[in-house]
Chain A
Amino acid sequence: KAGVTQTPRYLIKTRGQQVTLSCSPISGHRSVSWYQQTPGQGLQFLFEYFSETQRNKGNFPGRFSGRQFSNSRSEMNVSTLELGDSALYLCASSSQALSYEQYFGPGTRLTVT
């Protein structure tokens, strides 16, 4: 089975721009979660989706948004980028609404200049 894929792997954007990151979960998985990883704040939860519904949202400003499609693929969008948005964005998928194992993708490294 193919693992979780994230595209693009690397991205450089300028302050004020917006960006869309994509995550394709493992085939058959319906739950997708997003995390932001930075040296200063560590791993922080962004959103969680299950069957196209957002179940949970972390403590991030409204500039961060996401969605999940009927094929379980998920996207997250960050508008009006700030320097502090530079981070590794990780996506995780699991098969069930309440699962004991999540599988992470390799991440998208976003650099905001």
Chain B
Amino acid sequence: AQSVAQPEDQVNVAEGNPLTVKCTYSVSGNPYLFWYVQYPNRGLQFLLKYITGDNLVKGSYGFEAEFNKSQTSFHLKKPSALVSDSALYFCAVRDGRGGATNKLIFGTGTLLAVQP
């Protein structure tokens, strides 16, 4: 079955320090992976995607993600955290079973708290 796992419910980091939010995946076939961010009382905002190509993917707001096939991971990173990055982050995989679909399977989410 297609799935993603986010092993950390919460990540705490000081402003200015690098941050990593972890995600591992389990898929049959090629993985199409995504990161979304959700601010309080808001919908999800797309950050970045991995479809194919370079293992380091750059996205919005200075975020990037590293795809690692051998470790089946897709960790979200940022070199220098901002207080405004504090939000709920979701890793997702597109469910490729059953043909053409835009259906996403989401992880449980990781709350990122950046302290000033």
Contacts and interface: CB of A to CB of B under 8 A. Distances in A.
B31 interface: no
A7 interface: no
B33 to A, nearest CB: 10
B108 interface: yes
Interface residues of A, number: 25
B43 A106 contact: yes
Contacts of B45: 104
Given A42-B106, A48-B103, A100 B43 contact: no
Interface of A: 4, 31, 33, 35, 42-43, 45, 48, 55-56, 90, 92, 94, 97-107, 109
B10 to A, nearest CB: 14
Contacts of A45: 95, 103-105
Interface string B16-44: 00000000000000001000100001111
16 contacts: A33-B102, A42-B107, A43-B90, A45-B95, A45-B105, A55-B100, A55-B101, A90-B43, A92-B44, A92-B104, A98-B101, A100-B32, A100-B51, A102-B102, A104-B45, A106-B43
Which are the 10 A-B pairs with shortest beta-carbon distances? A104-B43, A43-B106, A104-B44, A106-B43, A98-B100, A42-B108, A56-B103, A107-B43, A105-B43, A56-B101
